[in-house]
Amino acid sequence: MSEDAPGNPGAVTWPDGFTASVMVRRVQAKLHRWAAGDPGRRFGDLFNLVYDPAFLAAAWDRVAANKGARTAGIDRATVARIEAQVGVGAFLGQIRDSLRSGEFRPVEVRQVRVPKGSSGKFRKLGIPTIADRVVQASLKLVLEPIFEADFQPSHTGSARTGARMTRLPRSTISRPVPGNTTGYWRPTSKPVSMKSGTRP
């Protein structure tokens, strides 16, 4: 973290995307190593990493590369608008300052209804602001390596591939099965067999 700019105390030098990703990966490797080496370890001060310039820059890159970058939250700001009107450095500086001071508060999400396939039904979708997405992405960059250390290779489900995986009870089948569990726990008048994990 560079806060030693001559003549401007507190100024931050924002790393470019590649440098930020390398810096973040190094810290993530340490966090993962520490978490895996001592499962009972408590991480006391992780919040300073959330507003670290490298983590915020890497988070910005992820948000900007996402398909939703063109979708505005309740503040109507998109990634392109922020880049053109505010500037990425100034925008990230505002987020960093509000996180450091403890003044950052997530904003209400913009609610939209999107069609649910060809069924004619709609589902609610909450769209956070770009600032909230950047903070969420930074939090994920900090917390993910710690929690990943707890997962065993036999665990199923992977958000990285985008596939939804459901593990059925061993008595039924012993391998992960791709599936969509949407609506599985909806109220029903039919009895549910908890022994087999399936509905009759």
Please write the tens of the pLDDT for every residue from 137-193.
Answer: 999 999 999 988 887 766 655 444 444 454 444 444 445 555 555 555 555 554 444
Exposed/middle/buried for residue 75 (C-beta within 10 Å: 0-12, 13-18, 19+) = middle
Q: Report which of residues 94 and 155 the model is more confident about.
A: 94
Mean pLDDT of 104-128: 91
- Buried/exposed 162-189: b ≥16 CB within 10 Å, e otherwise: eeeeebeeeeeeeebeeeeeeeeeeeee
Contact 165, 157 (CB under 8 A): yes
86 — phi, psi (to 5°)?
-105, -45
Tens digit of each residue's pLDDT (9 = 90 or more) over 45-73: 899 999 999 999 999 999 999 998 999 99
DSSP letter (8 states) at residue 26: H
Q: What's the whole-model pTM score?
A: 0.71
- The predicted pLDDT at position 194 comes to 42
Quickly state the pLDDT bin for 200 (edges 50, 70, 90).
Answer: very low
Contact 107, 131 (CB under 8 A): yes
Task: Find the distance separating the first CA and the last CA of the chain, reported in whole Å.
Answer: 58
Q: Report which of residues 169 and 89 the model is more confident about.
A: 89
- For 147, the 3-state DSSP assignment is helix
- The predicted pLDDT at position 10 comes to 60
Distance between CA atoms of residues 12 and 53, nearest Å: 7
Residue closest to 128 by CA, chosen among 75, 198, 168:
75
Q: How far is CA 43 from CA 38, 39, 154, in A?
A: 11, 11, 26
Q: How far is CA 110 from CA 69, 162, 171, 177, in A?
A: 14, 24, 44, 34
